Amino acid sequence: MPKGAHVWTDERSEQTIGILLRSGVILSALVVLAGGILYLVHYGAIAADYRHFHGEPGDLRNVRGIGGDMLRWHSRGLIQFGLLLLIATPVARVAFSVLAFALERDGKYVVITLIVLGLLVYSLAGGGF
């Protein structure tokens, strides 16, 4: 390997994972905050009615609906999207770990991490055991 070439190390992986996790949490918090502010602007003066339970509307029960509401700057869609980002952050960490182990040429950990990633995606997609 030429002198001065960049080598992927455990330390570099840990630093990148730390940045990924912090960025995901901060981005998620900012999106939820924006949605919360919009929600209070639109509905803050309305008194809550606790006599009847009102579940989430149908458009906030799937990713496509949440994405559509988020793009239209609907407050509840923004809040839900921020929560999806928060859930996606550790999944992205596992996905990055696959890449990091591959760059380190550690085949055993690539396989193990791919299994973990597969189980995460399966469970988040609604699968069951």
The stretch 14-27 carries a mean pLDDT of 94
Q: Which residues are CB-contacts of 22 (< 8 A; sequence separation ≥ 6)? A: none
Residue 4 pLDDT level (bands cut at 50, 70, 90):
very low
For the chain, the domains span: 10-43+58-124
Residue 127 pLDDT level (bands cut at 50, 70, 90):
low
The stretch 15-19 carries a mean pLDDT of 92
Closest of 31, 10, 13 to residue 87, by C-alpha: 31
pTM for this model (two decimals): 0.80
Closest of 121, 35, 27 to residue 78, by C-alpha: 35
Mean pLDDT of the chain, nearest integer: 88
For the stretch 40-65, pLDDT in tens is 999 888 888 888 887 778 888 888 88
